[in-house]
Structure 1
Amino acid sequence: MTEEQLQGPRAHGGPCGSAVLKAVAEDFQVDEVLDIPLSGEGEHLWLWVEKRNLNTEEAARRIARAAGVPLRSISYAGLKDRQALTRQWFSLHLPGKADPVLGKAEDETLKILETRRHQRKLQRGAHSANGFTLRLTQLDADRADLEARLERIKAQGVPNYFGLQRFGFEGSNVHGAREYAERQELPVQRNLRSRLLSAGRSHLFNRALAERVGNGSWNQAQVGDLLAFTDSRSFFPAGEAECQDPRLAILDLHPTGPLWGAGESPVSGEVQALEAEVAAAEPAIAKWLAEAGMKHERRILRLPIGGLSWHYPGPDILQLEFVLPTGCFATAVVRELVSLAGQTDI
């Protein structure tokens, strides 16, 4: 599957040029933003960990082995990119135990930067945002065009597409989801089941968002929409008055798109018709997601870019810094700027 099939049209025009991202791990840095005051005491040991070219699950396994505890005792808020330099929190459940010596977990790919005790374990999704520092190298683009595009993105946000990494190489996870959906079966292996369900759901969301980008309504509320604030998981229907809410213009309030699952769609009117057409184009996947026990949920269509700033460390290097809500993809921002030559896995 092509990039356009997996994500959809760009909102701000064609790429301003080309660049390379992730030539080295330091080109893609992620810092978890966690607004939880740690007490300094309790049966959970929290670790602030720096990882380089290492995925979150492998880091958890290494920490568990070094601590001499089962993997189920390790918790983390979210998965971070492997091909990157990332910093995130982990927690270990150590009831009645002293702090373990964790040096065996560390090497050039993993460093424990800080440890702190707390009464509770780290829950999935507990972080409030992720901070990104991206360095685009081998940049071939007109700087004036880039500046104009960056200002536009800063003011208007970008479509909140799921990134290509959700779908596997050339969409292999979507192909896998379709195969199981056609048989209305689920993979026995837990990790595979989770990955394919997520890919199928993300694919349908991206198709709905692509339709909204195509008709120009991805960043505008329509009567019948379900609206949500950037950092809220609650939603409310849009009537005529809600479509004029000034918080839409300042990128605080957004229309949402479907994360398919069981239950009636809460949208109405033209929005419901559009989403029904997307489901009708992939009926097996839509039915499969519902019968797998997934619940119908919503995701904001527009991605606001917090604290976006940029500079040029070299003549062919652009460095970006910004903050995104959890579950959103930094590559959605890059995609509206440049094409990434020869790179299809990010």
Structure 2
Amino acid sequence: MTQSSSENPKEISGEAKTEPAITPERQQAENFSVSQLACAYGGPVGSGTLRSTAEDFFVEEQLSFDLTGEGEHLFLFIEKRGENTADVADMLAKIADVRQMNVSYAGLKDRHAVTRQWFSISLPGKPDPDFSALPDNIRILDKKRNNRKLRRGALRGNRFELRIRELDADIDALVARLEAIKSGGFPNYFGEQRFGRGYGNLSRAIPVLARGKTRRKSEGMNLSAVRSMLFNLLLSKRVELGRWCSHPLVGDVMQLGGSSSLFVAESIDAELERRLNGAEINLTGCLCGKAARVMPVADAADFEQQALADYTFWINGLQRCKVDADRRSLRTTANDLQWEFQDDMLVVSFSLPKGSYATALIRELIR
């Protein structure tokens, strides 16, 4: 926002604004950028523009379960343009005359996109509300009752269709890169949107980690950003070494493909490598916190400790905040990956499992 005067109100009142001290952790937060993470296939092969318009970035949720058609929870399949998920949930709560906590959604979706996602509203003993007051950029595509609310993460995945305009790239090289991603997957980085505008969620997490507990629900998002930063840094180091989808370390934690089942590779043999190369299993990295159900051992444990040795403030803070540790696959795959060229535009479509970011795929193609 542009101010009409250069005078600072706090300075006028004698309250000079104090800038936060430049501590090592604040410097780490300010220096972190997704753009600096290692690429798996040698870096982008050209340039282009994504999100010239909202229609250039289309995403549609895929639920992990079937709706029953009856029950106290009204499910709405909504298409929105230029709105974030939380704001739409607030609108639905007001129209339905329920508290915000009675409106649920499976995940957050971008504002600068056309997105189709599910919401549920708890309406025990109540009829379906009249949603005709919703603005034109929010459309209800389907609605159905269910006997349980929609919970966070209750998705099979998301389907994307992206348009990259002003494409400037060697087409043969770009096709080769797309083929490589189709067969080998790509690093499962968290995208920039995970960190808030200007990566501000990381800086906002510092006082929360220092005190060792959250006071507001929004602070949980800041802690999630911290875990995402640490995971991305660890994954980037493994990408640099060529150990993100093959060449495991003794003691690595493996995840069965398409499952949450984990096991520790206490030894490395040809069969394990074969299963990795065929994406039957994936290597995992730490989502830092306390008391993970499965932990790496031996060489893999040493590697993770050394890779994040400079980030003990963040790791210890997550543990003090009692954030549960977990594991995340280092590789993700784009199902049904297809593409076509239209003049100076690339249109690419694919499906990703829940929690994976389309922008992590695009960064392997263009800058």
Matched, 1:278 2:304: no
Over 3 Å counting, the alpha-carbon distance change for 1:243 and 1:302 in structure 2 is farther
Q: Is the 8 A contact 2:238 2:244 kept in 1?
A: yes
Which residue of 132, 150, 154 maps to 1:103?
A: 132
Which residue of 163, 179, 182 maps to 1:151?
A: 179
Over 3 Å counting, the alpha-carbon distance change for 1:243 and 1:272 in structure 2 is farther
Which residue of 108, 111, 114 maps to 1:82?
A: 111
| Correspondence 1:267-346 to 2 at 5 A | 267-312=296-341, 314-339=342-367
- Secondary structure class of the residue paired with 1:287: helix
Q: Is the 8 A contact 1:6 1:206 kept in 2?
A: no
Distance in 1, Cα, partners of 2:241 & 2:324: 27
Distance in 2, Cα, partners of 1:212 & 1:32: 30
Equivalent in the alignment of 2:159: 131
Matched, 1:218 2:247: no
Distance in 2, Cα, partners of 1:287 & 1:2: 20
Distance in 2, Cα, partners of 1:91 & 1:4: 35
Q: Is the 8 A contact 2:213 2:320 kept in 1?
A: no
Amino acid at match of 1:199: A
Over 3 Å counting, the alpha-carbon distance change for 1:23 and 1:2 in structure 2 is farther
Matched, 1:29 2:55: no
Matched, 1:201 2:227: yes
Q: CA deviation at 1:125?
A: 1.1
Distance in 1, Cα, partners of 2:32 & 2:263: 32
Over 3 Å counting, the alpha-carbon distance change for 1:109 and 1:186 in structure 2 is farther
Q: How many percent identity over aligned positions?
A: 41
Equivalent in the alignment of 2:283: 255
Distance in 1, Cα, partners of 2:36 & 2:327: 17
Distance in 1, Cα, partners of 2:68 & 2:269: 41
Distance in 2, Cα, partners of 1:53 & 1:158: 29
Amino acid at match of 1:231: G
**1:23-79 Cα deviation digits (max 9, x unpaired):** 111111111011422222211111110011111111111011111111111111111
Distance in 2, Cα, partners of 1:305 & 1:244: 24
Matched, 1:239 2:241: no
Q: Is the 8 A contact 1:158 1:333 kept in 2?
A: yes
Q: CA deviation at 1:278?
A: 3.1
Distance in 2, Cα, partners of 1:73 & 1:301: 35
Q: CA deviation at 1:252?
A: 3.1
Distance in 2, Cα, partners of 1:329 & 1:23: 19
Distance in 2, Cα, partners of 1:95 & 1:43: 5
Query: When the two structures are aligned, how many residues end up with a matched partner?
Result: 335
Moved over 6 A (4+): none
Distance in 2, Cα, partners of 1:83 & 1:286: 32
Q: Is the 8 A contact 1:33 1:129 kept in 2?
A: yes
Normalization by structure 1: what TM-score? 0.92
Distance in 1, Cα, partners of 2:254 & 2:244: 12
Amino acid at match of 1:224: G
Note the residue ranges of structure 1 that are not aligned, 5 or more in a row: 340-346
Equivalent in the alignment of 1:175: 203
Amino acid at match of 2:200: S
Amino acid at match of 2:263: F
- Secondary structure class of the residue paired with 1:103: coil
Normalization by structure 2: what TM-score? 0.87
Equivalent in the alignment of 2:87: 58
Amino acid at match of 1:214: E
Over 3 Å counting, the alpha-carbon distance change for 1:42 and 1:171 in structure 2 is closer
Amino acid at match of 1:259: L
Amino acid at match of 1:201: R
- Pick the structure with greater CA Rg: 2
Equivalent in the alignment of 2:24: none
